[in-house]
Amino acid sequence: MADRILAGRYRLVRPLGQGGMGEVWEARDEALGRPVAVKVISMLAGGGSTADEARARFLREARITAALQHPHIVTVHDVGTAVTAEGSTPFLVMELLRGEGLDAAVRRGPVDGVEAARWGGQVCEALAEAHAAGVLHRDIKPANLFVTASGRVKVLDFGIARAADASATDGRLTRTGLVIGTAAYMAPEQARGYPEQSSDLYALGCVLFELRTGRLPFTAPDTLGFLTAHLNDAPPVPSSVAPGLSPAWDSLILRLLAKAPGDRYGSATELGEVLRELEGQAVPATPLPAPRPGHPPTVVEPEAAPAAPVPLDAAVTVTAAQHSTPEAGGRPELSRRGLLLGGAGFAAVATAGIAAGVYLGADPGHDAFAWSHGLGERREGWDQPILSGTRCFIPAHDGAAFQAFELADGKHLWKRDLDLEWPLSGNSEAAAIDDGDTVLALVQLPQDRIAMLYVLDGATGKTRWKRELYDEDDYSLHVLDRSGLVLFGNGDPNRQTVTAFDARTGKERWTQQFDDSGTIEGIGDMALVGSKALDGATGKQLWDRPGMNLYTELGQRISAPQRTDDAVLFHDKVTKRRVDLVLLGARTGKEKWRVPLSEVTTVAPGSLEEEDPPAAPLSGTTLLLPRLKGERSRPTAIDVRTGKEKWTFKGGAPTGDRAPEPVSTPDGFVLPTRDGVVCLNADDGTERWRTEGGADLDIASAGAYTMVRHTRTARLFQHRQTVRVLRSADGRTLWKGEFTASIGKSAPLAAGRVLAFLDPQETLRAIRLTG
């Protein structure tokens, strides 16, 4: 192949490396008269699915690497296709690097602190650039880190990188369940099929351990041994392997090798800053040994290490354990036997440069998570997260405990356990206002059932103030978020007292008494007490509609009202089986319009269960009413200001009793149909986009983003949950994945380009959306 010219321009001079997928050649760009490196994927000359997959991986590498312009990432000059005697073969043209791979430096023994910190810091700069673009490398190891003759590190081989933006990789290109990486450097969550940005930092921690000590943190005879160790074993303290290492190095490396991603450094940028500090404190560096005389310029291809490369289609396959989430906390350890006897989900890994196949998690694969945090085990688990501003607060079911996070970067702000109980077992009474600056929790003392209001600082979790309420019968938290007031009332059936406190300071703002009782509810800047509406700021009564059945008795669970610009939407239970939707003037209580909403299921006397009326989502000034047997056979949109019909959806209704309710987006509605999901424009009902669905369809809205989950049959007796995050405006897929179990426990929350949700394993997961 030497002296062959590709595409009439690139003359191949001599081979630099060969691996399982192909070869890297030193070449000359005849058009520009400069030396270059050309990567040719030899297996693509053949045909079949293996060649197609390798071609797709190759094109992905070219696209991703070319988009990442950075001094510490190898530069891509060109990509093309050469017609050879064997067939059509794509090739990639890169800058020609002179120096050696970091694996060569590692083979000579431990590296001093200055060089290790400098090289590690440069890798962090490259990773920060990639992560900012939504790209994970997924195979950081010495063979993929090249040290040039000038001492600059270049990160190579983005062929198995994955972009969070599906368009950056033309969708999922790996085989079903394929998780690629190198076993000796693989983070626990990546081994389980959940790679995230922190996984690259874990791999870099393994590299730094190897640089400073001369050996890997874990040793094993084969792939399964490495995976078992990464999943279960605590790494040795570096200074116990290489005496003389400073406590700072021990601390840095052990933090990077933490099993839980949230226990590592928050970002590559943060880690780079710590490494730069270490570089300044370290002993003067020993100069990097120059390449031996006659040593050719080199671009190290990651599969080039073995003397006898193993092609992907010759990979060994074994069976291993099923897992759906990456967090180590609270999980049984995975033994070698456990890995061999469990599940089915393919993962291609490499150990000591040799490709191998392992059935790992049965997870078919997904785009990367940005970050995740295991919340830890509690008896009843954790509740729906509360979003306020960019902060996320998660209360626990079984006690007054909280955790707080910044959604943008996954920073764990605080964890607080009040050592008290919620007023009603299994129901957390908590709220957050002021863009996450203030958190409120209504709890009770375990022994005497005295209600306590705790107000916490949203940034630190510290108590700002607390108050005993003594109102034994009012165990609900009512917050007027617009005015920052919290309402409480007593349970006296003959005389109702309502008090408003300033949530920020604890000062009492007003008190009102009424001769009859009624349920208290806060909505916008209004307080509703039974049939009466009060001005939230002053407590002054605005109106009273005694004939209006605004709320129902215990056990008749009618949803709370919604506030529009100058009116309030109520559910009015007209008869035992009929609920109407009514719009009242917010300041006058005057009825503007009334439409039938639904029929309610009759329940046995004394039962605490009754079916909620269906959703009537609101988007802008358009309200979508559900089907109503005999009166409204199709979903119908009305103008919320007038009650007049705007349009009717004529699509097919979903079958079965478990069809999800429609949800609203900023300017539209997402509805289930017979064959999937459709998004309609709120103003005129025109179709914006549609996507396929399946059994157990679920739709959740997070403002500008829509999450669609459904189950499909992958093989006989195998069911997988397909999850997609779509841009609500046009239906573009921003993130997707397939899982062997449900990943959704809570509704998704969105802050900027980050979407987060709580999964059934009590792990808070975040997706960074780049589209």
Kindly list the catalytic residues: 139
Q: What CA dihedral angle connects 535, 539, 541 and 547, to 10 degrees?
A: 90
What is the token pair recorded at 416?
């607080």
Helices (H), 102-196: 102-107, 113-132, 188-191
Report the number of secondary-structure helices (H) and strands (E) in the chain: 10, 51
Tokens, residue 697: 């369809």
Which residues contact residue 683 at a Cβ distance below 8 angstroms, ignoring those fewer than 6 apart?
620, 622, 646, 667
The one-letter amino acid at 256: L
Distance CA 666, CA 274 (A): 42
Mutual orientation of helices 247-256 and 268-281 as an angle, nearest 10°? 160
Q: Which two tokens stand for residue 78?
A: 């060109």
CA distances from 205 to 99, 216, 747 (A): 23, 10, 34
Give dist(CA 283, CA 290) in Å, integer: 20
SS3 state of residue 665: strand
Which residues, listed in sequence order, are joined to residue 569 by a DSSP beta bridge?
A: 562, 583
Q: How far apart are CA 486 and CA 376, in angstroms?
A: 31
The dihedrals phi and psi of 247, each to the nearest 5 degrees, come to -60, -30
Residue 54 phi, psi dihedral angles, 5° rounding: -65, -40
Which residue carries 């107000």 as its tokens?
455
Would you say 519 and 497 are in contact if contact means Cβ atoms under 8 Å apart? no
Q: Which helix (H) or strand (E) holds 57?
A: helix 48-67
Place of tokens 């785009």: 367
Tokens 């001369």, residue located: 214
Q: What would the two tokens of residue 438 be?
A: 């203030």
Bridge-partner residues for 5, per DSSP? Answer: 11
Q: d(Cα 581, Cα 625) in Å, to the nearest integer? A: 9
Residue type, 614: P
Tokens for 722? 């397909």
Q: Do 282 and 113 form a contact (C-beta atoms < 8 A)?
A: yes
Q: CB of 753 within 8 A of CB of 711?
A: no
Neighbours of 58 (CB within 10 A): 24
What's the Cα-to-Cα distance from 225 to each of 333, 398, 492, rounded to whole Å?
A: 13, 39, 67
Q: The tokens of 745 are what?
A: 């426990």
- Cβ 527 vs Cβ 536: under 8 Å: yes
3-state secondary structure of 397: coil
Q: How many CA atoms lie within 13 A of 259 on its CB side?
A: 19
Report the greatest alpha carbon distance in the chain.
Answer: 99
Rounded CA-CA distance 64/143 in Å is 19
The secondary structure element, H or E, covering residue 203 is helix 197-213
User: What are the tokens at 27?
Assistant: 């070449």
